Structure 1
Amino acid sequence: MTGVWALLAFVGVIVFWNAVVKRNIGEAMAIGFVAVCGFALVGGVAGGSAWHSIGEAVLDAMQEEVTFAGLAFVFMSYLLTRTPVLDRLIDLLNSGLGRLRGGSVYTATVAGGAFGAIAHVGAAVTAAVGSVTVPWMKRSGVKPELAATVVAGGAGMGVSFPFSATMFILVGGLAAQGVMQPDEIVAPLALAGLWCLGYRIVLVWYLVRRNGIEPMSRADLLPLRQSLRTGWTSLLLFLPILVPLLLTRGPVAEALGTYSGVGEQLKKPVVLSDGTALAAQPYAMPDVISLVTWIPVLMIALVLVLGRRHLPRTAAGWRTTIAGAAPSFGVIGITIVAAFSASNVLADLGLAGQLKQVLTGLDAPAWLMAVAIGVIVVATAVPLTASATMAAIGPVAVVALVGAGIPAPVAAAAVLIFASTEGASPPSGAPIYVASGIARVDPVKTFLPLLRYYCLPILGLGVLIAVGVLPV
């Protein structure tokens, strides 16, 4: 059971270094990987040298397409914060929803979903959306603590939609263990994210009526024609997601694959981590057009075009801009590489087979397993970020759900929904303090509302997704 003990040490080191020592998750992940390497050096790995296994694990992690994609999305998010593109998108949403009773709250929620689907960083979602919508909500008569609660509660949508760094960390570990391929998570997670957004909209409807919130002041509204004239180009931000999806799935992808002859060639047989060999399958369009590679590339290109007037025009300006993004690159990059590397070494330690032995001793129905895994993930996400939670226990949580008979993509989507509660999990969620600072309210006043309206209900949604009540 060396792999299981190595996993426990990996999780323990991450939690201790990040939550107790208060160091960043990049450091925690690196030290956790060193701990896993210690088990490999002492206990050995199956079929080879421990040092060779460690070297190959790091090399494979650095060559993963999801490593590139994760860093590319970090850079794209950073560029977006330096342009008014998303502000114009929020103006558009406000023009359409602000005339409704509680329209400012609906705007905050829908904008959180839109921003989360693009930028994915919880604190960034809260800051970008909250800086505009919190003052509007307060001017509309919304209590400051409720305004902060709504904005912080929307931060998790950065995780509950593709293609966040958290998603890359999870699917990288699963791919390394042969559980599933990265592209398999896209559709289930997108649908799961829509379920979560739908719940938030229903919640807003309830909160608006409970708190007697009225429509926004006319002075705070731009006419729809004006917001469309000045900000219609912000709607193009969804094209870099739609175009690769259309080219890899559906009738367009099928026609393109037939024309190009992609399906006439066979891939090499796949050997899973437990030694199981799968029969060779024909290539498909997702095999030749990678979503996780092309979406961030196209998104960056579009942001460069849409925000060109607000971005540097000299080499010195770009050096300063890239230098500003460097700290985020460092933390996310180390986190992803360390997570993938640790997953590779854990696979060489026989973790998959050992977990299979442990799981066969459990005789719990799928719904009970989903509840137990959900509680564990949510509890872990209290002291840690969603990314750290997925790096520490994400792949194991998915494997446990798969062992209970839940399909791997559905299980992965449910686990990410569980982890998306990080922003609404007091007392350590960073979005809580960002939203409270903008609203100028004591953060403690948001703790119980966040638990009642967001954390526990989202946990319930994840369970319903896992057991198939909410289809994805």
Structure 2
Amino acid sequence: MGNATIALIVYMLVIIFWAVLIKRNMAEGMIVGFIVVALFGGSDAFQLMVTGIHSAFTNEVLFASLAFILMSYLIKESNLLNGVLEIFNALLGRLPGGPAFVNIGLSATMGMLSGSNSANTATSGTFTAQWMVRTGWRKDLAATLIAGNGGLGAGFPPSASMFIMLGFAQVSNLISEGELYLGLFVSGIYQVIYRIFLVIYLIKKQGIRRIEHSEKISLKKVIGLNWKSLCVFLGAIIPILVTVGPIGVFLKKLGMSDAVSSISLLIWIPILMITIILLLGYKTLIKNIHSKEVLVKTLFPQYKNIGGVLLFAFAASTIFSELGLSDELILLFSSLNFGKPIMVLLVGVLVVLVAGPLSSTATLTSIGLISFTALLSVGVSPLPAVVSILVFASTEGASPPASGSIFIASGLTETNPEKTFYPLIKYFVVPIAIIGWFIAMGYLPLAV
């Protein structure tokens, strides 16, 4: 076992010790882990720290992750998200068990805007929890669905988990941010489709019937009143069309291949979305963020943790690369002689188990790189390897007993959290892990 591999093991133990036993801030754990890894460079430790920090600060993924946090904050404070809810309500709310479908739609939407499982559960659950209970859903089952659907926060791009994986030099050298963005989006669609069929099954099993509304507003009228909310998604649609869609193909035929290739989705999607939000919701934003004090109290705490985690995770990744970790791990896993199906299964089980007590970001910071290398060693292509690992880690929101999403959903539905543990494992943890296995095996394509 080489020096870099030992450094990785110690790094994993430090992070798990810091998060589970000491229960301190994860950003602090990243700093400690970063220093410990650098010490394995011996006399070059200080130079490795400098190289790692410089690499992290010049990594566009760090900028993108912080920009998406700002975008998520602004869309909430602008109340544009309420318009999306009204549209989902008009479209799906009158179906039998309709609020559960609305919760899926809202969770997927929030997943494309924020990336946090717990925040996703809190936001979507606030709108739909009591609505589900009033329309016939058992409280424990409503909490199960809300917590399970919260996993779409990490299941769709952007997410902190995605940024963690892109921050590893060993990953970013093999796939682009655009490829991962689109691949993770496709995997998110698979998860949404599964959740829709799950809700249909539970509706029939529970005998939930349609609830008639006294006041019916047409979908056309609702869209007419809330169309501005949908414009936010142009910030994602336009860069995708220009880079990989038909417009991009047309521009390349005109000899603009270099210009198109230089467009980074992770840079331009948040920039355009923030611009659109500011244009459409500036009056509400001025009202809700009426002073510097409000901005500091509401926005800055979101940067305190995730910024530190990402910065020092990326810096540590660079040090691992300098120590030659990839070559050591490839040799190690090649000697294990596991078949591809078994190795994918073992990686999936490892990620799911670690994601139980840890967050998805902490999980991938500690074992993301070793999981990626393990999958590559048995012939999994880089993109399905990363996406499958992210799918495995997205079970964090549904993994009892430590998931914050479980307690948020249980509080919103006023039910006992323990009643959701087994249903969450049966309906979400195992099936979503199976989806990740199918993606890694190539049975679920990621082409768009």
Query: What is the TM-score normalised by the length of structure 1?
Result: 0.90
Identify the match of residue 343 of structure 2 among 353, 369, 374.
369
In 1: Cα distance, 2:160 partner to 2:209 partner: 38
In 2: Cα distance, 1:223 partner to 1:183 partner: 37
C-alpha distance 217-318 of structure 1, shift in aligned 2 (>3 A): farther
Partner of 1:10: 11
Letter in 1 for 2:26: I
Equivalent residue of 2:233, what SS?
helix
In 2: Cα distance, 1:285 partner to 1:227 partner: 37
Letter in 2 for 1:59: H
1:409 paired with 2:404, answer no
The 5-angstrom pairing of residues 108-119 of structure 1 reads 108-119=103-114
In 2: Cα distance, 1:220 partner to 1:115 partner: 27
Deviation at 1:224, TM superposition (A): 2.2
Partner of 1:384: 358
Partner of 2:210: 215
In 1: Cα distance, 2:424 partner to 2:377 partner: 32
Mind listing any 5+ residue stretches in structure 1 that lack a counterpart?
264-282
In 2: Cα distance, 1:85 partner to 1:317 partner: 21
C-alpha distance 222-84 of structure 1, shift in aligned 2 (>3 A): farther
Q: Deviations over 1:419-441 (max 9, x none)?
A: 00010001111111111111111
Partner of 1:270: none
Letter in 1 for 2:350: I
In angstroms, what is the RMSD of aligned CA positions? 1.8
In 2: Cα distance, 1:346 partner to 1:320 partner: 40
Could you tell which deviates more after superposition, 459-468 or 391-400?
391-400
Deviation at 1:187, TM superposition (A): 2.1
Partner of 1:360: 334
The 5-angstrom pairing of residues 10-89 of structure 1 reads 10-41=11-42, 49-89=44-84
Equivalent residue of 1:91, what SS?
helix
In 2: Cα distance, 1:314 partner to 1:205 partner: 39
Asked if the contact 1:29–1:339 (Cα under 8 Å) also holds between the matched residues in 2, the reply is yes
In 2: Cα distance, 1:222 partner to 1:4 partner: 61
C-alpha distance 397-220 of structure 1, shift in aligned 2 (>3 A): farther
Partner of 1:438: 412
1:197 paired with 2:218, answer no
Identify the match of residue 231 of structure 2 among 213, 222, 236.
236
The 5-angstrom pairing of residues 44-443 of structure 1 reads 49-175=44-170, 178-219=173-214, 222-259=217-254, 261-263=255-257, 283=258, 285-286=260-261, 288-312=262-286, 317-443=291-417
Mind listing any 5+ residue stretches in structure 2 that lack a counterpart?
none
In percent, how many aligned pairs have the same letter? 36
In 2: Cα distance, 1:146 partner to 1:128 partner: 18
C-alpha distance 313-445 of structure 1, shift in aligned 2 (>3 A): closer
Letter in 2 for 1:209: K
Equivalent residue of 2:286, what SS?
coil
Deviation at 1:316, TM superposition (A): 6.1
Could you tell which deviates more after superposition, 304-313 or 194-203?
304-313
C-alpha distance 464-370 of structure 1, shift in aligned 2 (>3 A): same
In 1: Cα distance, 2:36 partner to 2:194 partner: 40
Partner of 1:275: none
In 1: Cα distance, 2:395 partner to 2:380 partner: 21
Q: Deviations over 1:111-163 (max 9, x none)?
A: 21122122211111111111111111111011111111111101111111111
Deviation at 1:29, TM superposition (A): 1.4
Partner of 1:467: 441
Identify the match of residue 454 of structure 1 among 428, 435, 438.
428
C-alpha distance 217-128 of structure 1, shift in aligned 2 (>3 A): farther
Equivalent residue of 2:232, what SS?
helix
Partner of 1:273: none
C-alpha distance 350-220 of structure 1, shift in aligned 2 (>3 A): farther
In 1: Cα distance, 2:289 partner to 2:227 partner: 30
Asked if the contact 1:177–1:343 (Cα under 8 Å) also holds between the matched residues in 2, the reply is no
C-alpha distance 207-316 of structure 1, shift in aligned 2 (>3 A): closer
Query: What is the TM-score normalised by the length of structure 2?
Result: 0.95
C-alpha distance 322-302 of structure 1, shift in aligned 2 (>3 A): farther
In 2: Cα distance, 1:427 partner to 1:315 partner: 36
In 2: Cα distance, 1:355 partner to 1:207 partner: 44
